[in-house]
């Protein structure tokens, strides 16, 4: 373990490039030839109607896809030029470099807030010089420090839904990821919590590259620099219809279907 692995948020953001990614579930093709670059220190939003493969694509980016029984994939995903599927990196190492926040807040219920933040480091047996400082830094980055600093020893489940989600973000940030994947992180939250998390995304984007799946067009517009529009026709696998700078996708897209979708005419 090199020293730069030990303390978080110091390794810096990294770019992700997916090339010709295809995915199958039990022999059924669900994602076909998806290629997308997610440049360093940017926020990329994946948009599109339900069932078009956005979440599958996101889970391919940190090797969570292979945990589903019967799941297969083709293509490559490169983290700053290193193919995460090439075999040099272990899946567990990959996931420490590329963290993930889920749709439903899922703090570990048997752990305190403090232990939740340090969970990832504990799991990987990474020594931490100053635990308290790391907890404070991670919680501050996730915008939870002021609310949680007096209740660090309470169970994670004692927080409200929005706070739990920010705890999950803090937990993901504590291991020092270079990319953070977010799968509809606000869909279970109220507008205030959503605003708070969007603020967090804006603040961490310098340190980690963010890829976010969202069904909320306004949110995609607010938080992202680039945007990729996924679509799956009936009985066909999902594909990227169009990807580019967010303002272009929302104001002047090339494809008529993108125009229709971002303006709420279908989906």
Partner 1 sequence: MTTLAPPPTTSAPVNGSPMPRRIGTPLRPRDFGLADVGILVASLFSSFLLVWVVFYQLTLLSGGFGFLVCWYGSFLTLYWTVTSQIIDRRVATDRVFSTLVITGASLVVGIVAFIVGWVTWKGATHVRANFFTKDMSHFSPADPHVLNKIGVAHAIVGTVEQVGIAAAIAIPVAVVTAVFLNEVGGRGTRLVRTVVTAMSGLPSIVAGVFIYSILVETSLSHYAGFLASLALFILILPSVTRTTEEVLRIVPGGLREASLALGASEFRTVWSVVLPTARSGMITASLLGIAIAVGETAPLFFTAFGNNNMNPNPLHGAQQALPLVLLDFVRTPQGALVNLAYATAFILLSLVLILFVLARVLGRPRTKKAVWRARLRSLTQRSKTSEIDLPKNVLMMSATSIQKESP
Measured from the CB atom, the residue of 150 and 235 that comes closer to partner 1 is: 150
Q: How far is the CB of 175 from partner 1 (least distance, A)?
A: 6
CA–CA gap between residue 231 and residue 242 (Å, rounded):
9
Measured from the CB atom, the residue of 47 and 117 that comes closer to partner 1 is: 117
Q: Please give the residue ranges that form the binding site for partner 1 (CB under 8 A).
A: 62, 64, 67, 92-96, 99-100, 102, 104, 106, 108-112, 119-120, 122-124, 146-147, 150-151, 153-155, 158, 168, 171-172, 175, 191-192, 195-196, 198-199, 222
**Owner of token pair 């297969």:** 72
Q: How far is the CB of 215 from partner 1 (least distance, A)?
A: 18
Q: How far is the CB of 236 from partner 1 (least distance, A)?
A: 28
The DSSP output letter for 129 is: S
Strand ranges of the sheet holding 71-79, from the earlier edge strand across to the other edge: 28-38, 16-25, 71-79, 82-83
Neighbouring CB atoms inside 10 A of 229's CB total 27
Measured from the CB atom, the residue of 119 and 259 that comes closer to partner 1 is: 119
Q: Which two tokens stand for residue 98?
A: 């590329």
Q: How far is the CB of 228 from partner 1 (least distance, A)?
A: 21
Q: How far is the CB of 74 from partner 1 (least distance, A)?
A: 22
Measured from the CB atom, the residue of 92 and 254 that comes closer to partner 1 is: 92
DSSP track, 29-77: EEEEEEEEEE-TT-EEEEE--TTSSHHHHHHHHTT-GGGSTTEEEEEEE
């Amino acid at each position: 373990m090199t020293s730069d692995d030990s303390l978080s948020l110091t390794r810096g953001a990294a770019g992700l490039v997916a090339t010709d990614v295809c995915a199958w579930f039990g022999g059924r093709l669900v994602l076909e030839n998806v290629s997308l670059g997610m440049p360093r220190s940017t926020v990329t939003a994946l948009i599109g109607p339900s069932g078009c493969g956005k979440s599958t694509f996101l889970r391919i980016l940190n090797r969570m896809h292979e945990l589903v029984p019967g799941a297969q994939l083709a293509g490559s995903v490169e983290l700053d030029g290193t193919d995460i599927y090439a075999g040099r990196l272990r899946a567990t190492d990959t996931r420490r470099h590329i963290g993930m926040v889920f749709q439903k807040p899922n703090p570990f219920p048997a752990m305190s807030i403090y232990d939740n933040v340090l969970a990832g480091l504990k799991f990987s047996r990474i020594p931490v010089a100053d635990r308290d400082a790391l907890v404070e830094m991670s919680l501050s980055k996730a915008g939870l420090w002021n609310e949680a600093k007096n209740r660090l020893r309470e169970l994670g489940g004692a927080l409200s839904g929005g706070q739990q989600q920010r705890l999950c973000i803090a937990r993901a940030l504590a291991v020092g990821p270079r990319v953070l994947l977010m799968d509809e992180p606000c869909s279970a939250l109220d507008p205030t919590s959503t605003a708070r998390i969007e603020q967090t995304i804006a603040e961490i984007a310098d340190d980690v590259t963010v890829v976010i799946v969202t069904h909320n067009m306004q949110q995609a517009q607010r938080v992202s620099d680039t945007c990729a529009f996924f679509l799956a026709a009936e009985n066909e696998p999902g594909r990227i219809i169009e990807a580019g700078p967010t303002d272009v996708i929302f104001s002047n897209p090339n494809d008529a279907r993108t125009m229709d979708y971002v303006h709420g005419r279908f989906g």
